Amino acid sequence: MKHIIFVIHTLAVGGAERRISALADYTARRGHEVTILLIDNPVVDFAVNPEVRVVCVNQNPQTDRYDSERCELFKTERAVKTSLADNLRLRRARRKSSEDYAFAETELFLKYKYALPLYEYLKQFPEAVIVSFMTIPNISLMMAAQRLKNRVVFGDCTDIANEYPEGSPFNALRKKYYSRADAALFQTEVQSSYYSFLPGLVKNVIPNFIKSESLPGRFDGERTKEIVNFCHLTSVKNLPLLIDAFALLSKEYPDYTLLIYGEGSLKDELLRKIASLGLEGRVFIRDFDLNIHSKIRDAAMFVSSSDREGISNSMLEAMAIGLPCVCTDCLGGGARMMIEDGENGLLVPVRDARALYLAMKKIIENPALAEKLLQNAVKIRERLEPGKICSEMLSAITGE
């Protein structure tokens, strides 16, 4: 039996969070000791195996949604205030160049906000295998692990090459710290190819899994005239593009509506855009619901407008419940990895509102095509069966 520690921002709504909770459940059921470390907020929105320990290492967490029964708060007695030496380093970097200052400032922020509390917690478990997901947890873990002997693994869930602009401190921090990793998990070959600067890294390309048992079956019957999307309301999802494409569609099909389920920083901006286009009553932003799949299973189609993704969990789940899917061929390669255009979904170029509109129109006007797409889409359940995928991931994590 091994002790496996997962590191993630929080367990609130999100694809990576769903993936972690399911993988932790699988790992615990195989008899391993499992801990999920949250580096930001002690929020637990997903069902987590009761055998899995959940700990938040943020020293000043937002606790308005704190699940005190499910999540522990870890407090270290070690000071996490910037040292005199680090303050002097910041001053020297400021005098040198704006780029040097941005790097030093970002590095020290991650050090004191995340890496030091992580180190203080993880040093208690020298035999544990530690695996993180998403860029900030990844960098923070690799910083903390400089003084740890544990096996450490990181996972990427997005299009790394385009996550941050050229010259970003985060790109430089990857290059400085990721050599500490023993192995990495990627969803696509595109993600894996980014790390050519780490020739010795053990790379594992394993797609997302689908928890079919928690999803409703394919709907057979007359579908609603609802077009749906569910995701984080963030810029990479390019939801304004989806709204623009729907605006074109609505001129020909005024009886259709667009429902976007999600939460995020861009909600108000999206509502303003909807109002500016006169689409109130036609386009709706609704809160994410853990029963989202049951709500949308009879929708006309699922449409993703993302600029970049690893492999979109929303896309996979929409395919698995039998929705005709239209997806942008986004950077990261996940959509084209899973969708064969015209067979189990439709792929369109990124940032092309007219192409997105035409694809939606094609599904509406061709019921036979819609039926073909959804019948082939549900086959993704077998391809991404969770036992098989989780087994591969666990082997990659443990190195066995």
pLDDT, tens digit, for every residue of 139-155? 999 999 999 999 999 99
Kindly state whether residues 30 and 103 are assigned to the same domain.
Answer: yes
Kindly state whether residues 170 and 218 are assigned to the same domain.
Answer: no
Kindly state whether residues 48 and 164 are assigned to the same domain.
Answer: yes
Kindly state whether residues 197 and 265 are assigned to the same domain.
Answer: no
Per-position pLDDT tens, the chain of length 400: 899 999 999 998 677 888 899 899 999 999 999 999 999 989 888 889 999 999 999 988 877 778 778 899 999 877 567 788 888 989 999 999 999 999 999 999 999 999 999 999 999 999 999 999 999 999 999 999 999 999 999 999 887 888 899 999 999 999 999 999 999 999 988 899 999 999 999 999 999 888 788 899 999 999 999 999 999 899 999 999 999 999 999 999 999 999 999 988 999 999 999 999 999 999 999 998 878 999 999 999 999 999 988 888 899 999 999 999 999 999 888 899 999 999 999 999 999 999 999 999 999 999 999 999 999 999 999 999 988 999 999 999 999 8
Kindly state whether residues 357 and 368 are assigned to the same domain.
Answer: yes
- What CATH code is carried by the domain that includes residue 328? 3.40.50.2000
Q: Which domain range does residue 377 map to?
A: 212-383
Kindly state whether residues 201 and 280 are assigned to the same domain.
Answer: no
Q: Give CA–CA dist 249/276, Å, rounded.
A: 16
Kindly state whether residues 224 and 318 are assigned to the same domain.
Answer: yes
The residues near 321 (Cβ < 8 Å, ≥ 6 apart) are: 215, 216, 217, 218, 219, 293, 296, 297, 378
For 349-396, how does the pLDDT look when each residue is reduced to its tens digit (9 = 90+)?
A: 999 999 999 999 999 999 999 999 999 999 999 999 988 999 999 999
Domain count, the chain: 2
Contact 74, 50 (CB under 8 A): no
> What is the model's pTM?
0.79
Q: Which helix (H) or strand (E) holds 316?
A: helix 313-320
Q: Among 105, 125, 109, which Cα is nearest to 39's?
A: 109
Q: Give CA–CA dist 142/111, Å, rounded.
A: 10
Q: What is the pLDDT of residue 290?
A: 79
